[in-house]
Structure 1
Amino acid sequence: MQFTKAFEQAACIIILLATQESGKPLSTDEISRRLEVSPSYLKKITRKLVVKQIITSVSGNRGGISLARKTEDISVLDIIEAVDGSISIYPDTGLINLVFKGGKYVNKGSDIIRNVFRNADELLNQYFSNIKVSDLLKEGFGNSEIPTLDWNRTSLIEFLQQDRGEQE
């Protein structure tokens, strides 16, 4: 199973929003520019995240998007389900029944295969639901403080230069 590129883009959106200064929505134009995706494509992804109540959208001149929940309350599974739907690694097209039609064990065999993959889906759901965005960010930044900046005005290069200056 492979997730779509929309998952990676949604994850990047969540990271940008998680590190955005509180109370300052992030412009979708800025996100579109940073991710190098068309504004219309970005709107499709953000709409899915809004529907799942992961982000909120504010219209207007000072509008944009921001997180609807704390990063501690957003799991990787939430993001997956928002952009790619529920996890289902076995397509179950009915081919087994078609190929072995009338076979003595075809129904039992199909049920066994379905159960194996249903169990695998459940294990993946459990695994991804236990991974919180906050934990990934803390691990990535190497501390419990998640740095913030105004992505609408600050470039990543400027941020990294500020970060290096504080460490010296």
Structure 2
Amino acid sequence: MKLTKGLEQAICILAMLSTQDKRIPLTSHALNDRLKGTSHSYIRKIIRKLVVGGLATSIPGSNGGFTLAKRLEKINLLEIVEALEGKIITYPNSGMINQVFSDISKKAINGEKILMKTFEEADKHYTEFLKQQTVDQLIWSTIGNSELPVMDWNKR
């Protein structure tokens, strides 16, 4: 499984939302200004996935924009990955093992089950680790102090 660059952009959007003045929604114009080199339509797709994933809220209207849908410490990396990329499944079982070893199908079926179980276990560890990593922890580790800056990204 290869994560797309949209994940990094989504994390940037969430970091902006987390520091945005809570009384003022973050506009798509401000997102476009900050995410240089990313098309407006791609940014809209990313923010839409964050909204559908329950991580951001869309506020319609001329004074609208986006806000965090829940508290920062309640958002973990697994939620972000799954909102952008879908469920983590690293082994794409296409049935190749059974096809290649069809003349010894009992062993092939067993081998396929063992391989799938191994990757499912790896996915479980990976998802558990990502679930433990919250956005607030990442921001605190980055800025190194106990107070989250509050700003209006719309005016920067």
Tell me the residue number matched to 1:66: 67
Q: 114-123 vs 144-153, which deviates more?
A: 144-153
Q: 1:107 aligns with which of 98, 106, 109?
A: 109
TM-score, length basis structure 2: 0.95
- For 1:75, the aligned partner's letter is N
Identity %: 41
**What is the deviation of 1:78?**
0.6
Tell me the residue number matched to 2:46: 45
**What is the deviation of 1:52?**
1.2
**What is the deviation of 1:54?**
0.4
Please give the secondary structure, in 2, of the residue aligned with 1:102: helix
Q: 37-46 vs 128-137, which deviates more?
A: 37-46
**What is the deviation of 1:117?**
0.2
Tell me the residue number matched to 2:22: 22
Tell me the residue number matched to 1:160: none
- Cα shift readout 1:84-109 (whole Å, capped 9, x = no counterpart): 00111111111111111131410000
Tell me the residue number matched to 1:79: 80
**What is the deviation of 1:15?**
0.5
Q: Give ranges in structure 1 of 5+ residues lacking alignment.
A: 155-168
**What is the deviation of 1:61?**
1.4
Distance (whole Å) between structure 1 residues aligned to residue 25 and residue 76 of structure 2: 21
Q: 2:140 aligns with which of 138, 141, 144?
A: 138
Q: 2:153 aligns with which of 128, 138, 151?
A: 151
- For 1:91, the aligned partner's letter is P
- For 2:123, the aligned partner's letter is D
Distance (whole Å) between structure 2 residues aligned to residue 17 and residue 39 of structure 1: 17
TM-score, length basis structure 1: 0.89
Tell me the residue number matched to 2:5: 5
Tell me which of the two structures has the higher relative contact order, counting C-alpha pairs closer than 8 angstroms and 6 or more residues apart: 2
Distance (whole Å) between structure 2 residues aligned to residue 13 and residue 93 of structure 1: 35
Q: Give ranges in structure 2 of 5+ residues lacking alignment.
A: none
User: Post-superposition, which runs of at least 4 consecutive aligned residues in structure 1 deviate over 2 A?
Assistant: none
**What is the deviation of 1:33?**
2.1
